[in-house]
Amino acid sequence: MTTSHYIAGRWVDGQGSDCISVNDPALGQPFAELIAASAEQVDQAVAAARAALPAWKCTSASERAAYLRGFAEQLGQRREALVALQMRNNGKPRHEAEVDLDDAIATFSYYAELAEQLPGQNRDVPLAAPGFTARTRLEPVGVVGLIVPWNFPLVTSAWKLAPALAAGCTVVLKPSEVTPLCELAYGQIADTLGLPAGVLNIVNGKAETGAALSNHNGLDKLSFTGSNNVGSQVMRSAAAQCRPVTLELGGKSAILVFDDCDVDAAVQWIVAGICWNAGQMCSATSRLLVQDGIADALLPRLQAALENLRVGSPLSEEADMGPLTSQAQWLKVAGYFATAREEGLQCLVGGKVLDRGGWFVSPTLYADVPEGSRLWNEEIFGPVLCARRFASEQQAIAEANDSRFGLVATVCTTDLARAERVADALEVGHVWINSVQAVFVETSWGGTKGSGIGRELGPWGLSGYQSVKHVTQCLG
């Protein structure tokens, strides 16, 4: 598989020096290879997007909506192949891979509707001063670079690609080198739909390709989802160019369980928050804060639920959780298991890698983790849960907010007044109350503190790709 780049409406072979090995994490073995794009090919992709911009931004909102609906329909027609690819390359069980595809379809459908609801280019602005008129225009920000991670391919790219196209931007998409194949479907769909050449470009590669894109002076904006380390590099490159960025970065999120909560329901929400996608989520609620009055009842049931979670190949219909997606992530999580032993943490369940041929680890729960522990403070990106007890609502809020991250949180209580009060006090971008992490395209996504800059999804996602222009005229 060498024809892995879509530039100016054409499929081209990679000309870079890197060979990307695409792995099946359930087996720990490669099943495909592709050649990375060269810096020159990144130049070509940006140039193609720049050349396509004048015509694309002048298309009507209804035309762009029609293309977006076409993407949604074509994703649905490729359903089985894309679900199978998610299972094979990400290690996702079928039910998770299907949710991902449905999310991507819903995103394109939503932004098609939103595009049709866009006001006309010009809107009058009332002025208090006499003798002048003013109007405002919403225009596409221009050529945007989109860099997406490996944990939710198709999904994070849809969250960026759909609003960017709806706004009238042209794009260069760089998928993760860990999961480079799913996003190629967008190029195939562009061909099928007859999307004008250069509106969508896809370049695959490793860090060098990402750096070539993020440093490119032909971009008007960059949107990045990934780690804080890489995000800071992206932000530095944006600062050098004085251009806007959207950054969706890491998290170390809390789930707060109060003593009036139903224990069985709380266990369900906790397990989903740490074991969905094998814990490889920036939103993973990996810090469990449980009130004293319920802790002794909840922790043993949570331990049993994690022990009974079925870990296995995505091809097994019985698997509740698959492997970690890459060997690097497997080794990272194994390193945290070693750190937990060095710190003397109390492990109630798990804390080990599984000898099954692939990159499997056990769902893990540590109890009474001190606030100075590395596992309490650092993003692990695996099914590793750390628990602490609290006495009061004020203490729970303070400990949940005591983090350099601020992405999400979950509140579990039957006292809905308290739930709303706590939700308002939490320093995060999204709060769930008595729920699994249901994400809807109509809501916003993004965080505070070190969890990023800007918002995706909803109308906020669209506005991130729009520029506001005012025109003021003197009538005298």
pLDDT given at position 378: 98
User: What is the tens place of the pLDDT at every residue in 266-308?
Assistant: 999 999 999 999 999 999 999 999 999 999 999 999 999 999 9
Confidence of residue 27 (pLDDT cuts 50, 70, 90): very high
Q: Which residues are catalytic?
A: 248, 282
Contact (CB, 8 A) for 388 and 371: yes
List, as own/partner pairs, every contact residues 366-375 make where C-beta atoms lie below 8 angstroms and the sequence separation is at least 24, other chains included: 366/340, 367/299, 369/345, 370/343, 371/399, 371/402, 373/343, 373/345, 374/336, 374/339, 374/343, 375/336, 375/339, 375/340, 375/343, 375/345
pLDDT of 476 above 90 = no
Q: Label residues 302-313 b or e (16+ Cβ within 10 Å = b).
A: bbebbeebebbb
pLDDT of 250 above 90 = yes
pTM of the model: 0.96
Is 3.30.420.40 the CATH classification of the domain at 5-249+451-474? Answer: no
Residue 338 has which token pair? 């070693």
User: What is the tens place of the pLDDT at every residue in 336-379?
Assistant: 999 999 999 999 999 999 998 999 999 999 999 999 999 999 99
User: What is the tens place of the pLDDT at every residue in 416-435?
Assistant: 999 999 999 999 999 999 99
Confidence of residue 317 (pLDDT cuts 50, 70, 90): confident
pLDDT given at position 118: 80
Comparing 109-123, 248-262, 445-459, which segment has the lowest mean pLDDT?
109-123
pLDDT of 437 above 80 = yes
Number of CB atoms found within 10 A of residue 178's CB:
22
Residue 310 has which token pair? 């079925």
Question: 254-440: same fold as 5-249+451-474?
Answer: no
Q: Which fold has domain 254-440?
A: Aldehyde Dehydrogenase; Chain A, domain 2 (3.40.309)
Torsion sign (Cα): 246, 249, 254, 255: positive
Contact (CB, 8 A) for 91 and 359: yes
pLDDT given at position 261: 96
pLDDT given at position 1: 52
Comparing 99-103, 314-318, 397-401, which segment has the lowest mean pLDDT?
314-318
Q: Is 38 helix (H, G, I), strand (E, B) or coil?
A: coil
Placement of tokens 């074991």 in the chain: 275
pLDDT of 446 above 90 = yes
Residue 412 has which token pair? 């579990």
What single letter denotes the amino acid at residue 213? L
Which residues, at least 6 apart from 210, have a Cβ–Cβ distance to it below 8 Å? 147, 174, 230
Of 188, 190, 180, 187, the residue nearest 153 (C-alpha) = 180
Alpha-carbon distance values, 371 to 123, 232, 368 (Å)? 53, 26, 9
Q: Determine the average pLDDT of the residues in 130-136.
A: 93
Number of CB atoms found within 10 A of residue 145's CB:
33
Of 321, 251, 311, 310, the residue nearest 97 (C-alpha) = 321
The domain limits of the chain are 5-249+451-474, 254-440
